[in-house]
Amino acid sequence: MALWGGRFEGGVDAFTQEFGASLEVDKNMAQQDIRGSIAHATMLAEQGVISDEDRAAIVEGLTQIATQIEAGDFVWDINDEDVHMAIERTLTERIGVAGARLHTGRSRNDQVATDIRLLAKDLCDELLEGNHELRRVLANVAERNLDVVMPGYTHLQHAQPVLFSHHMLAYFWMLTRDATRLEAARAAANANPLGSAALAGTTYPLNRERTTELLGFDHAIPNSLDAVSDRDYLLDLEYACAVSMMHLSRLCEEIVLWSSSEFGFITLSDSYSTGSSIMPQKKNPDFAELTRGKCGRVYGDLMALLTTCKSLPLAYNKDLQECKEGPLDAAHTLGDCMAIMAGMLDTMKVNDDVMLAQAGTGFSAATDVADYLAKRGMPFREAHAVVGHLVLECEKRGCGLEDLTLEELRQASDLFEEDIVGELDPAGIARARTTYGGTGNDAVAAQLAEARATL
């Protein structure tokens, strides 16, 4: 009989029991359930609700179960509805009536809410470690390629030359914001619902501040209805995962482009590439593509939970059983993708000569030529038009700005002098952007130091 079966005369149909069970997903928070139960039993004994002997038996029994679960030796009974019942049933079988006293002053509603919050905190901690490692790799890649010049793009068209290290650090700062979101999700989960019971609190003299302390929560949730029904912190976690996956998908898209023969900017390690079953020459960026594809999966996890929580009345509803699988999937997916990305970036070869050659094409010096004229007194809008006309003429002739002679340039404006040649060098163009946050060598070196400091 189920632990709640006293009110029922008939047994549960096998299919409905299977349909309503959540054991397979719940196994992921078995250790958190045991931590919560040990804290609850400790508090009950301190409050005189159960004896010290019962507390000692409960703690010893739960510790043994935790060790078995960690080692993979625990036998799960398919008849158990969820992890809470599986552990409590096993505990009671082993230590007798003391195990049956564990649930005093507690409901599965506040028990599961406690477990999920502990799990969410643990997931955030793991993701923050992965985020930190990926940011460290990005900083290392930037440092190894400080002087590499590449074309910068807008609309995927050549815009202005930039340093490759500057481009990599842009993703560093994206991931830094992701870390902030993960920290916020962890802070949202860091509140104790234990002691709220089913929805209204309990008549037992529980000390919620004590379980808050024992479980490492920041504070106890002040409203018992909210405590058992709130899953906002899981939405925060899934949102943080979704945004981070979006950032990874952007980087993956560039890796796919850069590794193609049309770009040739990078060469991926064999360890992060695959071949073709029919085309012997292929070296495919499959892992970048797969990471890009998994972004949609994490988006789906977020939307599923938003939809599950929509219109739910207070307090607990069985719908909330569906709140665990999505966050677990989102967190595990993001964690795996960050690990893949760290390895892929750390082992890729940067083809700096190809990048530099491309940085000088596509009229990427046009803005600097216009600035050259503006610095010599011509209104920028007029300078913009002059250089635009030069670009048009170059397109008609099939040449670049760098191919024009000084005489041809002076036909457009007599402000051009011999020193215009320096304004057409891609490395010089990048180096000249010295403002804070710019792509100049000194600015990027300062930015890299700032990035290192955040780690």
Which residues form the catalytic set? 155, 276
Alpha helices in 194-231 (DSSP H): 208-215, 224-229
Neighbours of 67 (CB within 10 A): 12
Matching residue, tokens 């100049």: 440
Scored b (16 or more CB within 10 A) or e, 27-60 reads bbbbbbbbbbbbbbbbbbbeeebbeeebbebbbe
Specify the amino acid at residue 88.
E
| 3-state SS class at 350 | strand
Q: Would you say 417 and 423 are in contact if contact means Cβ atoms under 8 Å apart?
A: no
Q: Token pair of 341, please? A: 């990305």
Q: What angle do CA 349, 353, 358 make, to 5 degrees?
A: 110
- Residue carrying the six token digits 């050659």: 357
CA distance 241 to 257: 24
Question: Do 289 and 256 contact (CB within 8 A), yes or no?
Answer: yes
